[in-house]
Amino acid sequence: MSIHGKKRMVTSKAEEVLTQSNALFRALIDKSSDIIVLANAEGMLTYISSSVTHIMGYSPEELVGSPALGLVHPDDLAVMQQVSGAIQQAPETSLRAEYRLRCKDGLWRWFEGVGTNLLDDPEVGAIIGNFRDITERKQVEEALQAEEQRFRMVWESASDAMSLSDREGKVLAANPAYYQLYGFKPEDVLGQPFSIIFSKEQQAWAQALYQATFESEKRDASIESTVVRADGTIRIVEASYDFLVQHGRRIAMISIIRDITERKQTQEQLQASEERFRALLERSADAISLLNKEGRRLYSTPASARIVGYEPTEYVGEETFGHIHPDDVQHVRHVLVAIIQQPGKSLPAHFRVRHKNGQWVWIEGTGTNLLDHPSVQAVVVNYRDFTERKHLEEALRQSKEQLEVILQNIADGISVQETSGAIVYMNEAGAKLCGYTSPAEVLRVPDFQTQHAYTLQRFEILDAQGKPFPLAELPGSRALRGEQAPQAIVQYYDRVSQTRRWSLVRAQPIVDEDGQVQLAVTIFSDITEAYEAEQRKDEFIGMASHELKTPITTVKGLTQLVKRKLEKQGAPELIAIMSTIETQLNRLTKLVNELLDISKIQAGRLDYAEEPIDIDELIQSIVNTAQLTNTTHTITVQGTAHKHILGDRDRLEQVFLNLISNAVKYSPQADTVALRMTTSQEKVIVGVQDFGVGIPQEHQDKIFERFYRVADETTKAFPGLGMGLYISSEIVKRHGGEITVESEEGKGSLFAVSLPVVS
């Protein structure tokens, strides 16, 4: 209750009435929830109603006599001083103010006070102040203000466009996001029908829809639509709405419009990429199934129909193990459990599955645990039919096993070396031959030097002549250098048993697509028995030719004696017979000599002299000798060497006489044999050319072998044993030179002897 400046008329009625009414007012005042104060012109409190006690905690006596503004908050004091000054100056007027006062407990509370100057009123003679506690109201006000502030912030900073429109659709307010979205300015929109944001054609329709929505009881969820912005660009929006209700009546609509253009686009892109992935999966040759953590099939790609005969839909939800071969179930279950136990784990498995047609199909599958992956949540199994491959593998394994059995049981030793020379495979026989107890013992040390050293501990490795065999010249080493089919006869002297064995060692390089040597395969054939038989044969030939020599020499001497006696007696017929006997004896001597030479060569016992020889002189004398015995052909010499060589004159003579006699023998239709001499810094080359039958290409590199003869129709008719060229080439080799041949069938041959010269 407040007391406003109204003149109070106190009449002179009975004292009693007055006292009564006084008591009534006092009671009213004291019980009031307001505090009533009186202050004098000096601003001192002269009266305070007792309501001050329960509101502020002071007793009236405590405050009477103190300044009226004594409890005012320092921040409010200046204003209050102004207000109370104004009150004092204006009698009979009231002024209102809000301010804080200090209570007895020391806390500040808000009060609203009204002061009225009744100093001039004879019945009051004071300033009446009346104030009430408004602390609660103040707090509510502040809270409201803060709330309002927050709402405004949301409104201002929301990314969604928002507008408020009244019953008729007039826009009352819109937030910045709204202007941003539509591209309008506030002045274009505020107070205008909301439909202004639509195209001209759509405005009437939009207005009608608005009205209907406003009236309708039914509430739609959000509405998706397109918006043409003021600049003509198009956005996709999602709009939702709500109503402001007062007294049960809708008074305004709040629209919230969200720009979902980007979201839409990413959604579309996602969808497109999902479709792409699905298409990829479904067209993949491998089948893919998704299993849940119980192992049940959630999904299968169409490829599974091709592999197992069932359509994916026939399968879904079924226990995966249902179709698996009973022998494989345990294994597959094992693998699946291991996969399921560990997120991200991936394991392969091979197993059989019954095809719809009843046959077993071999499956090769890999399961990966993606149960934790938010967009998969399954065990992903990729699988393919590998029945055919399985059969192939099986066949391959069998043939490999067969091969292995063969390799391990054949008498020949077999080893495989890699490019470093290290042996990576060896069969039983090979291992034995190298002094090992088993192949495993060889393969334990993976380097060639160690392996070779091990072999050398047990064996001396020698060539046919009994000299140490150089490591780099072993056929395996040569094959690794790319040489095709190198071979050698190798002698193994076993230090333990002190026996000798001979092996024919053949090797072959294995190359990759680029022709690079990857491996060398070596085969050791034990030829000891054959080799020894051959040696016995050689020894026999040696012995036989040696034994033949003495009787022939005797017969030859006696023949000459008889011939001389007959010449003295003059018996021409018998002399002619004796000459024929002599010629045949000479042929026989030559053959026996050649046989003897061969056995000497074999035994490494052919002796050579080493003397300087003038090559021009040597050749000339050979030609002279040859010409004496050959009457059918003219032997010519072209060129001179002016060089000396170091060697055995008789042996070299043997070489050239042999070449010349071959040239004559194999060119019965011709009449010349041409010798040609050419030289270089280090060597002299003597060519012996004939114009005879020639040598077929395939025989050319074999004619220097012992006892080799070309056995075709043309050459069969010529007598001979295939010894001459072998002996010649051995002699030339011993001189550090070589013999080569160039020949064309029916045209003739050119044998070239090259010998190193001495300076």
CA 480 vs. chain centroid, Å, equals 32
Q: Which of 754, 561, 752, 759 is nearest to 674 (CA)?
A: 752
Minimum distance of ligand ADP from residue 652's CB (angstroms): 16
- The residue among 435 and 692 lying less far from ligand ADP, judged by its C-beta, is 692
**Which is closer to ligand ADP, CB of 439 or CB of 694?**
694
Nearest distance, CB of residue 550 and ligand ADP, angstroms: 24
End-to-end CA separation in angstroms for the chain: 151
**Between 597 and 690, CB nearer to ligand ADP:** 690
Q: Whose CA is closest to 255, among 187, 185, 174, 184?
A: 174
Question: Considering Cα of 333, then 334, then 335, then 341, what sign does the dihedral take?
Answer: positive
Residue closer to ligand ADP, measured from CB, 492 or 726: 726
Taking each helix axis from N to C end, the angle separating 724-734 and 572-603, rounded to the nearest 10 degrees, works out to 50
CB of 541 to ligand ADP, least distance (A): 16
Q: Retrieve residue 704's tokens.
A: 């220097």
Nearest of 422, 420, 429 to residue 503 by alpha carbon: 429
| Secondary structure, 3-state, 438-507 | CHHHHHCCCCHHHHHHHHHHHEEEECCCCCECCHHHCHHHHHHCCCCCCEEEEEEEECCCCEEEEEEEEE
CB nearer to ligand ADP: give 304 or 658.
Answer: 658
CA pair distance 381, 368, nearest whole angstrom? 6
Nearer to ligand ADP, 563 or 590 (CB): 590
Cβ closest to ligand ADP, residue 451 vs residue 715: 715
Which residue, 475 or 748, is less far from ligand ADP as judged by CB?
748
Q: How far is the CB of 680 from ligand ADP (least distance, A)?
A: 25
Return the percent helix, strand and coil in the chain, to nearest 5. 45, 30, 30
Residue 289 or 749 having the CB closest to ligand ADP: 749
| Residue 586: CB minimum distance to ligand ADP, A | 15
Closest separation between CB of residue 552 and ligand ADP, Å?
19
Q: Which of 703, 702, 630 is nearest to 667 (CA)?
A: 630
Count CA atoms within 13 Å of residue 517 on its CB side.
Answer: 21
> What is the b/e burial string over 481-511, where b = at least 16 CB atoms within 10 angstroms of the residue's CB?
eeeeebbbebbbeeeeeeebbbbbbbbbbee
Cα–Cα distance, 63 to 45 (Å, whole number): 7
CB of 502 to ligand ADP, least distance (A): 25
Where on the chain is the footprint of ligand ADP (CB under 6 A)?
Answer: 662-663, 666, 690, 692-695, 703, 708-710, 715, 720-726, 749
If the CB atoms of residues 43 and 722 are measured against ligand ADP, the closer one turns out to be 722
For residue 626, how many C-alpha atoms fall within 13 Å in the half-sphere facing its CB? 30
Please, which residue, 255 or 689, has the CB nearer to ligand ADP?
Answer: 689
> Shortest distance, CB of residue 629 to ligand ADP, whole angstroms?
16
C-alpha–C-alpha distance, residues 667 and 299, integer Å: 89
Q: Nearest CA to 239 among 254, 229, 224?
A: 224
Q: Report d(CA 30, CA 22) in Å as an integer.
A: 12
Residue nearest to ligand ADP according to CB distances in the complex: 720
User: How is residue 549 annotated by DSSP?
Assistant: H
Q: Minimum distance between the CB of residue 694 and ligand ADP, rounded to whole angstroms?
A: 6
Nearest to 732, CA basis, from 697, 685, 693: 685
d(CA 595, CA 158): 118
User: Which of 246, 228, 225 shows the shortest CA–CA distance to 236?
Assistant: 225
Q: Compute the Cα dihedral for 437, 438, 439, 441 and give only its sign.
A: negative
String of DSSP letters for 70-85: TTB-HHHHHHHHHHHH
Residue 691 CB, nearest approach to ligand ADP (Å): 10
Residue (113 or 694) nearer to ligand ADP, CB: 694
Instruction: Indicate the pairing of strand 297-300 with strand 360-370.
Output: unpaired
Q: Which is nearer to ligand ADP, 720 or 756 (CB)?
A: 720
Among residues 384 and 590, whose Cβ is nearest to ligand ADP? Answer: 590
Long-range contacts of 434-437 (CB under 8 A, 24+ apart): 434/458, 434/459, 435/459, 435/494
| Least distance (Å) between residue 579 CB and ligand ADP | 24
